[in-house]
Chains A and B, each alone.
Chain A
Amino acid sequence: MKILVPVKRAVDYNVKVRVKPDNSGVDLNNVKMAINPFCEIAIEEAIRLKEKGVATEVVVVSIGDKACQEQIRTGLALGADRGIHIETDAGVVVDSLQVAKLLQKVVEAEKPDLVILGKQAIDSDNNQTGQMLAALTGMPQGTFASEVVVADGTVNVTREIDGGLQTVKLQLPAVVTTDLRLNEPRYASLPNIMKAKRKPIDVKPVADFDVDMTSKVTVIKVEAPAQRVGGVKVADVAELVHKLKNEAKVIA
């Protein structure tokens, strides 16, 4: 069984981004970038399925400029077998539908049995790509997964939903998107980082894919959120309750 894992290069989750003074976007100069945390969980899940003997090959794919090869290498160091890089020009923003269409072409060529994506990228917080890919390829989907069990041409996915947990059974090939509690990703060991340098990455220009890259969604402006200013420290519970009743008037 082959597993395809799309990974996104995103701002490190510890970084508090700043909006550019001209409101054209956020300032990503000299900001630490990393593999999107949900994608890391996706790779880990794929590797575990390989270690269990369920999967035979794990392929990571990323769409972006040259820099995202760093994240593909991370995937390879974690245990993926090979990488595919769909290269865009630097600074090009690709929207989720375009990413999904490019991934659709990769799926057609690679014919994976399972595609595992992150549920959302922590920069755009879109939470769309996996579902779009599933629709475009006619695959069933199990989103926000906290457990994935593959058996006999099907996969059971336990999903974190607003009311609790839901389990669905999907026929393979299928799309799964990861939630935080699916697993705890490992760290890449030094020998594996060295080994990853020799694993192949197939680089293809985005133009080869015949996907319309003009977006119909434009960002008009990006602003800083209204700042919440810290209030006061109260001395004790009595003062807190008094203020909540009489000043804030949020309790009776």
Chain B
Amino acid sequence: MSVLVYAEHDNESLKIETNKLVHAALGVSSDIVVLVAGSGCAAIAEAAAKISGVCKVILADNAVYEHQLPENIADLVVEVAADYSHVFAAATTTGKNFMPRVAALLDVAQISDIIKVESEDTFVRPIYAGNAIATVQSTEIKKIVTVRAASFDAAANDGSASVELLDTIKTSEKSSYVSAELTVSARPELTAADVIISGGRGMQNGENFVLLNGIADKLGAAIGASRAAVDAGFVPNDMQVGQTGKIVAPQLYIAVGISGAIQHLAGMKDSKVIVAINKDEEAPIFSVADYGLVGDLFDLLPQLEAAL
């Protein structure tokens, strides 16, 4: 039994998801190898080599891997995967994009978005927006698995594995990168933050999101949003929390002007402590909130900022 873990990174830094993947992989085997594919990624491979429990890091450093194009990455992973019984990648937009290709090319079913490893072949995953939890067993020769990082602790960083270079180049004529519009923010990322404050349709417009800034600054929080707030154009898509957005499980989640639709709850109900601020005392969000504050957010947010 051996697990190939696909490192999550943006060519600049290794993401905490990778530590969480390693932790999840330890549930299967102690033979864990991390694959870093990207461009200009030597430092990232070094960082991955420090994750406790990692036996070796394979670095495929080439311009063809810079934008994580799934055609290239899947072909690379299929080749490397030959030596492993399991492949784990994060259920991020990168992992979700290339992993099913890997599974199909290997002619095996994929297990998506696991929240628990029961054994080497049995995994737990939410279905129906988290309204049911399925335990599934796979008898495929290789297990291709995407992992919901928010459900696992992060492995520590006191290891010292070696880094091996791989010069395999996989590239496809059929697909090319054109451009990206990435959100730059000094705040922590949603999937890595200990505290998140999210705004919904109740915020009324994008400008009002500044009301969350001061609180986020004081708490070192990331700022999220409901789908309604994103659809209305208040904030960009990468801030959406929920079934079809990001799945988060911070220590503290503060929902402001969010009603609590099941699709939103699916993305945040595993948070340790949930606070809801809503003017409608019947709002469903209160049924999952540890602390509910009924009132107008335009009065309460400035008060909260001042009180912190």
Contact code string A59-91 (vs B, CB < 8 Å = 1, else 0) = 000000000000000000000000000000000
Q: Answer yes or no: A180 CB below 8 A from chain B CBs.
A: yes
A233 contacts which of B107, B175, B292 (Cβ < 8 Å)?
B292
Set of chain B residues within 8 Å of A241, measured between Cβ atoms: 304, 307-308
Contact code string A175-205 (vs B, CB < 8 Å = 1, else 0) = 0000111000000000000000000000000
Contact code string B274-303 (vs A, CB < 8 Å = 1, else 0) = 110000010000111111111000001001
CB contact under 8 A between A131 and B97, given known A95-B109, A243-B291: yes
**How far, in whole Å, are A238 and B304 apart by their CA atoms in the complex?**
8
Set of chain B residues within 8 Å of A240, measured between Cβ atoms: 275, 291, 293, 304
Stretch of A1-9, A44-52, A108-116, A210-218 lying at the B interface = A210-218
Set of chain A residues within 8 Å of B133, measured between Cβ atoms: 222-225
**How far, in whole Å, are A128 and B95 apart by their CA atoms in the complex?**
11
Look across to chain B and name the residue whose beta carbon is closest to the beta carbon of A228.
B288
Q: Answer yes or no: B230 CB below 8 A from chain A CBs.
A: yes
**How far, in whole Å, are A251 and B216 apart by their CA atoms in the complex?**
12
Q: Answer yes or no: B170 CB below 8 A from chain A CBs.
A: no
Q: Answer yes or no: B98 CB below 8 A from chain A CBs.
A: yes
Closest chain-A Cβ to B248's Cβ sits at a distance in Å of 12
- Tell me whether A125 and B126 are in contact (CB under 8 A): yes
Look across to chain A and name the residue whose beta carbon is closest to the beta carbon of B97.
A143
CB contact under 8 A between A238 and B307, given known A134-B101, A169-B178, A231-B291: yes
Q: Answer yes or no: A166 CB below 8 A from chain B CBs.
A: yes
**How far, in whole Å, are A215 and B131 apart by their CA atoms in the complex?**
24
B182 contacts which of A13, A26, A140, A163 (Cβ < 8 Å)?
A163
Q: Answer yes or no: A11 CB below 8 A from chain B CBs.
A: yes
B275 contacts which of A100, A122, A132, A244 (Cβ < 8 Å)?
A244
Q: Answer yes or no: A170 CB below 8 A from chain B CBs.
A: yes
Set of chain A residues within 8 Å of B134, measured between Cβ atoms: 219, 221-223
- Tell me whether B243 and A125 are in contact (CB under 8 A): yes
Contact code string B249-266 (vs A, CB < 8 Å = 1, else 0) = 001100000000011000
Set of chain B residues within 8 Å of A217, measured between Cβ atoms: 109, 111, 136-140
CB contact under 8 A between A166 and B177, given known A135-B105, A180-B231: yes
CB contact under 8 A between A164 and B180, given known A13-B263, A181-B231, A222-B127: yes
**How far, in whole Å, are A246 and B307 apart by their CA atoms in the complex?**
14
Find the residue from A133, A161, A165, A179 having the highest chain B CB count within 10 A. Answer: A161
> What is the size category of the interface that chain A forms with chain B?
35 or more
**How far, in whole Å, are A170 and B175 apart by their CA atoms in the complex?**
5
B96 contacts which of A26, A122, A127, A171 (Cβ < 8 Å)?
A127
- Tell me whether B238 and A160 are in contact (CB under 8 A): yes
**How far, in whole Å, are A140 and B175 apart by their CA atoms in the complex?**
6
- Tell me whether B93 and A230 are in contact (CB under 8 A): no
Set of chain B residues within 8 Å of A167, measured between Cβ atoms: 177-180
- Tell me whether B178 and A156 are in contact (CB under 8 A): yes
B181 contacts which of A127, A133, A134, A165 (Cβ < 8 Å)?
A165
Q: Can you give 23 A-B contacts (C-beta < 8 A)?
A: A16-B262, A26-B127, A26-B131, A100-B104, A122-B128, A125-B128, A127-B96, A130-B100, A131-B70, A135-B102, A135-B104, A141-B71, A146-B237, A167-B177, A168-B67, A181-B237, A217-B111, A222-B135, A225-B131, A225-B132, A230-B289, A248-B273, A250-B272
Q: Answer yes or no: B24 CB below 8 A from chain A CBs.
A: no
Closest chain-B Cβ to A102's Cβ sits at a distance in Å of 13
Set of chain B residues within 8 Å of A151, measured between Cβ atoms: none
Closest chain-A Cβ to B232's Cβ sits at a distance in Å of 11
CB contact under 8 A between A97 and B104, given known A143-B97, A223-B133: yes
Set of chain A residues within 8 Å of B102, measured between Cβ atoms: 135
A168 contacts which of B74, B128, B176 (Cβ < 8 Å)?
B176
A141 contacts which of B70, B113, B177, B286 (Cβ < 8 Å)?
B70
Set of chain B residues within 8 Å of A216, measured between Cβ atoms: 108-109, 138-140
Closest chain-A Cβ to B106's Cβ sits at a distance in Å of 10
**How far, in whole Å, are A213 and B219 apart by their CA atoms in the complex?**
52
Closest chain-B Cβ to A171's Cβ sits at a distance in Å of 5
Q: Answer yes or no: A126 CB below 8 A from chain B CBs.
A: yes
Q: Answer yes or no: A19 CB below 8 A from chain B CBs.
A: yes
Near B by CB (< 8 A), chain A positions 149-166 give 156, 159-166
Set of chain B residues within 8 Å of A129, measured between Cβ atoms: 100
Closest chain-A Cβ to B39's Cβ sits at a distance in Å of 15
Closest chain-A Cβ to B48's Cβ sits at a distance in Å of 19
Look across to chain A and name the residue whose beta carbon is closest to the beta carbon of B190.
A162
- Tell me whether B93 and A159 are in contact (CB under 8 A): yes
Look across to chain A and name the residue whose beta carbon is closest to the beta carbon of B183.
A164
**How far, in whole Å, are A236 and B236 apart by their CA atoms in the complex?**
31
Closest chain-A Cβ to B275's Cβ sits at a distance in Å of 7
A96 contacts which of B10, B110, B237, B274 (Cβ < 8 Å)?
B110
- Tell me whether A162 and B109 are in contact (CB under 8 A): no
